[in-house]
Amino acid sequence: MKWILVVIFLTGIACAQSAPKRYTDGNDLRDECGAAVAGQLGTYQSGHCLGFIEGYLQVAPIPNLPTHCIPAGVTYEQLTKVVVKYLDQHPEKLHLAAVLLISQATHYAFPCSAKMK
């Protein structure tokens, strides 16, 4: 019985170490979104980036984060370029949370006018 528990425990550790990477900061976001902008669509990195941006947009607006007014017709590929451009222009912010950086990037690229709020 003890050996079974040891095997289950060790299996759990091995699975935890191979779990998918989660975004923690702008460095991770820049690396993976950079793959999409570089034309490496269809790779794990670009898919993860596009999925992360889409997920953010599904729950936005998020309280205490900047708002945005993205026009109809803007594609996820365009949004990826907006995010990468913002990260490249603000390397001092790469340590911040990825969701905050996406919020800032979309806010500055697509600000809401006073009439739209």
- Considering the domain boundaries, does residue 30 fall inside one? yes
Per the model's pLDDT, the better-predicted residue between 73 and 11 turns out to be 73
- Considering the domain boundaries, does residue 2 fall inside one? no
pLDDT in tens, 22-79: 557 899 899 989 988 887 767 778 888 888 888 888 887 777 777 889 999 999 889 9
- Considering the domain boundaries, does residue 67 fall inside one? yes
On whether the pTM is more than 0.95, the answer is no
User: Residue 115: its pLDDT value, please?
Assistant: 47
- Considering the domain boundaries, does residue 7 fall inside one? no
Q: How far is CA 24 from CA 37, 71, 80, in A?
A: 20, 28, 17
Residue 80: domain span: 21-109
- Considering the domain boundaries, does residue 4 fall inside one? no
- Considering the domain boundaries, does residue 117 fall inside one? no
- Considering the domain boundaries, does residue 114 fall inside one? no
**What's the structural domain count of the chain?**
1
CB-based contacts of 33, cutoff 8 Å, min separation 6: 46, 49, 53, 80, 83, 84, 87
CA 94-48-16 angle, to 5 degrees, is 90
- Considering the domain boundaries, does residue 8 fall inside one? no
